[in-house]
Amino acid sequence: MASALRLMLFAGLWLGLTFGGAHSGFAQTNPQLTPLLEKLDTRNFKQKADAVAAIAAIDDPMVVPLLKTLGAGDLYRRKSDGTYFRAIRKGSAFALHDLVSGDEVETLSKSAVERIIVNNSMRGQIDALLGSLTLRSADPKQRLSAAQSLLKERDPSGLNALEAAIEAEEQDHIRDVMIAARSAIVLYDTSAAQADRLEAVAALKARGGRSMMSLLSGAAGDQDPEVADAATAAAAAIDKELQFWALGQNVLYGLSLGSVLLLAAIGLAITFGVMGVINMAHGELVMLGAYTTFVVQDAIRSSAPHLFDYSLLIAAPLAFAIVGLVGIAIERGVVRFLYGRPLETLLATWGISLLLQQTVRSIFGPTNKEVGNPSWMTGGFELGYLTITYNRMWILVFALAVFAGLLLLLKKTAIGLQMRAVTQNRAMASDMGVRSGMVDAMTFGLGAGVAGLAGVALSQIDNVSPNLGQGYIVDSFMVVVFGGAGNLWGALAGAFTLGIANKFLEPFSGAVLAKVLVLVFIILFIQKRPRGLFPLKGRAVES
Amino acid sequence: MKSMKLMGAAIAGLVGYTGVMGTSLAQDTIKVGVLHSLSGTMAISETTLKDAMLMLIEEQNKKGGILGKQLEAVVVDPASDWPLFAEKARELIEVSKVDVVFGCWTSVSRKSVLPVFEELNSLLFYPVQYEGEESQRNVFYTGAAPNQQAIPAVDYLAEVEGVERWVLAGTDYVYPRTTNKILETYLKDSGVAEEDIMINYTPFGHSDWQTIVADIKAFGSAGKKTAVVSTINGDANVPFYKELANQGIAASDIPVVAFSVGEEELAGIDTGPLVGHLAAWNYFMSVDTPENAEFIKAWHAFIGDEGRVTNDPMEAHYIGFNMWVKAVEKAGTTAPDAVIDSIVGVAVPNLTGGYSAMMPNHHITKPVLIGEIQDDGQFATVFETPGLVVGDAWSDYLPDSKDLISDWRAPMSCGNFNTASGTCGGMQGQ
């Protein structure tokens, strides 16, 4: 009795030490693990995968962290003694952390450690193994991701663990995933009873969605004709439902493309639409906005990494101000001498665009610059069966906000009133005491600043390179001409119409032809209505 | 009127300038032309190659040059403008009197300079992977032909990842179209059904990938393992990968193997969400050989930036340049005809621990590496062909070219010899 108690005390003490983090190194490595660990260090992926499977079967506190680290690609072997660590890159060296405790052990140069590489199929295998090992974890998030990876990999060896976990699970949404995972395994297990497999088909069908459809259509070629028929029917039913959703998805894609077009075009709607200046450097102003974002992020990365998520909020006003100033400089330096001479303006601004491109290329280099997505713009969420990605959603919101802001500025402020007065009748506005030269500069600067804002947004979805602007200049003119020059609402309607039309054409005609068709449509439309969707009425038109 | 005069003066100035350049070059140097875009859309890829060439030339000069003469680089900027490539090539050969040219990136730029090199009988080393279906007497193709990149990549996916359904996605121009035609025939020959292949083309610089990624997702939900074989051109890849990641497609669901994404392209993105997507090349910066370590060290020292990466076309220039040096030393002269004769069979070390040899069809032997993208923007090699693969100028998988072979050695001296009819189709490829 007493000795048993003492033993328990010892065991408790040992456990406490193990999980308390005081334990370090591999002094207590399970003797079963040692030969398997040796096998991990090979270039033969088949052998490595076998070793991983064998390791997962051993009950040892090291197994889960080892597999996790391996799956994440952070597992390194110290060449001097062959022990494994989780290594984190520190400049050109690697900081080695103990696998179990996570304590930093030492920092070694790249040549002193060797990385254990995994490939895609091993990553899947490790996910599935970790899934069965962490199904009973105390953390619901971990349980959910475990169930999801089992559902994806449908590893039959996880079935027992799943059954037990389903019994114990208390949260409904996690249990649902677990049941789906069980159904998936049963469906693909040809030795299971037919009734069970048919039940699995029904369960998967009830869950619905793209991945369930994939699972079901995979079973459509099953040897058991009844199961095969049921699976085919279920997959077809889900497919039908999905097609309905696809319509909504297309509208969303169209809105998203429209918002990008709107952002790119809205600055032009002011310079070209309101002022009548053909600004071929508009795309490069957008590009400058994107580079401003890059510079801001670069500064944040090196000096205050914790602010990274706010980088866009800092970059937006800066881009507006900087690009706006560049715009004012272009207006004062070049464009103002060319009012009323559209051809010369076109050539001069095209020259400016080349100049800006090559300047940026000389300063920042010709290669793409890395602009990261803040965490709130990464990934997406599911709404019904619609996939909405955060970056596209926020860009849509941002585009509408910029539009509303501009509209307010033009309609409700003194400077807006002066801008409209000068564009409508310059002579009379001057007579009324409006300094028309200053107003011209401000208007052009405003258009440029808005282009800068567009650059901040576009840096999130496109390459930040000196060529960024070229891709958008034609689209922007298309939107403004189609929507009707001089009218912000026209730009809004034009952008969204073109966006949605493009996205509905794309599935049938392919991306290349869709673009061509949209262009042909605009040409025909302009023949019919030369002033666009929403023509500006009144005396200004005549001038 | 005044502006006309100005323009005239500017033109006169330019002409004078090139004239000066031509005459001031001393006769005791060997001139090496570098024909890569330093401005315009292709500057992003080609500027690096110009720098790599300058480094190789500088290093050769430190070793004493060739045939006792120093090398001199003549750099021109064809500005991503295809007709300008032909003009600049002519200028290099006729005005600057270069003995050899290293250059071009896109297939269309190569096609535009071909007649110039043929007419003026000069040498061009072309360092980029391309669609094949060409073999020209004056051109040496040091990048990969489709059988040195695309076909081994497809084999890898089918064998190791068990892929049964294929999306062939590319940018709409000659390289993806030809490569996809070859791959389609190859896949069908190996028993893949018509409905298991989806082919999709997008315009240059495509940035809105939402619909296409959704289509790929739908195509991939037929219960068979699906992969994307991407011939999407450089720049458009970044938004494509971002959209894949955002729509929740990981490499373990639908892997993407790309033929135009290298270390340089990845330098512009956060590769965290891309881990596991693949690329097929003949060289990766991460390859662990002494030659490569030395090359990277020299590159960093030359460019003065430890952060710069190396990539496959740079290795192709490294191989091509060394082959040319060896061939010139063997021939004892830089005369094009002598070099064309002496270079076939020349073998030089590549950076992946072996030797690459120039074949009679003016393509070279290379190992094929498949790598997975890592979170540090590098590739980890997961597969390497056991031996070297010989570049095949004319694909065996296209009905028009399967009977053609190329051998520029005497007595055949033909770039498109038809083995079925026993005739040579003409001087120029195609």
Tell me the CATH number at A458: 1.10.3470
Chain B residues within an 8 Å CB radius of A512: 172, 201-203
For residue A224, the surrounding DSSP H or E stretch is: none
Are A87 and A205 in the same domain? no
Which A residues in the span 331-350 are in contact with B, Cβ-Cβ below 8 Å?
none
pLDDT for residue B303: 92
**Alpha carbon distance B186, B164 (integer Å):** 13
For residue range A173-221, what is the model confidence (pLDDT) as tens digits? 888 888 888 888 888 888 888 888 888 888 888 888 888 888 888 888 7
A301 interfacial to chain B (CB closer than 8 Å): no
* Count: domains in chain A: 3
- Average pLDDT (A25-40) is 74
Are A340 and A442 in the same domain? yes
Are A217 and A112 in the same domain? no
Strands B369-373 and B379-384, bridge-based pairing: antiparallel
The residue segments making up the domain with residue A175 are 152-223
Residue A14 has pLDDT above 70, yes or no: no
Q: What are the structure tokens assigned to A156, written together? A: 């039959």
A119 interfacial to chain B (CB closer than 8 Å): yes
Which residue on chain A is closest to B288 by alpha carbon?
A111
Q: What angle do CA A190, A193, A196 make, to 5 degrees?
A: 105
B221 interfacial to chain A (CB closer than 8 Å): yes
Domain boundary among A223, A238, A272: A223
Contacts of residue A480, defined as CB under 8 A and 6 or more positions apart, other chains included, come to A265, A268, A269, A272, A273, A490, A491, A494, A532
Are A77 and A159 in the same domain? no
Domain boundary among A103, A118, A133: A118
Question: Class of B27-144+294-368 per CATH?
Answer: alpha beta
B164 interfacial to chain A (CB closer than 8 Å): no
Is residue A263 in some structural domain? yes
Is residue A201 in some structural domain? yes
Is residue A146 in some structural domain? no
Are A199 and A257 in the same domain? no
Is the pTM value of this prediction over 0.90?
A: no
Are A435 and A289 in the same domain? yes
pLDDT for residue A62: 86
For residue range B173-211, what is the model confidence (pLDDT) as tens digits? 889 999 999 999 999 999 999 999 999 999 887 888 999
Note whether B27-144+294-368 and B147-287+370-390 share their fold: yes
Is residue A182 in some structural domain? yes
Domain boundary among A97, A118, A139: A118
Contacts of residue B287, defined as CB under 8 A and 6 or more positions apart, other chains included, come to B351, B352, B353, B369, B381
Confidence of residue B10 (pLDDT cuts 50, 70, 90): very low
Residue B276 has pLDDT above 60, yes or no: yes
Q: Say whether domain B147-287+370-390 belongs to CATH 3.40.50.2300.
A: yes
- Average pLDDT (B68-78) is 95
Contact between B372 and A466 using a beta-carbon 8 Å cutoff: no
Are A294 and A431 in the same domain? yes
Which A residues in the span 438-457 are in contact with B, Cβ-Cβ below 8 Å?
none
For residue range A381-438, what is the model confidence (pLDDT) as tens digits? 888 788 888 989 999 999 999 999 999 998 999 999 998 888 778 888 889 888 888 9
Residue B428 has pLDDT above 70, yes or no: no
Contact between A368 and B221 using a beta-carbon 8 Å cutoff: no
Confidence of residue A537 (pLDDT cuts 50, 70, 90): low
To the nearest whole Å, the CA of A446 is away from the closest chain B CA by 26
CB-count exposure of residue B29 (10 Å: 0-12, 13-18, 19+): middle
- Average pLDDT (A357-381) is 87
Is residue A125 in some structural domain? no
Q: What are the structure tokens assigned to A45, written together? A: 């992926």
**ipTM (interface predicted TM):** 0.79
- Average pLDDT (B1-13) is 44
* Tokens 């993105």, residue located: B269
Contacts of residue A337, defined as CB under 8 A and 6 or more positions apart, other chains included, come to none
Per cent of chain A over pLDDT 90 is 25
Dump the DSSP string for A283-296. Answer: HHHHHHHHHHHHHH
Q: What are the structure tokens assigned to B347, written together? A: 């073998």
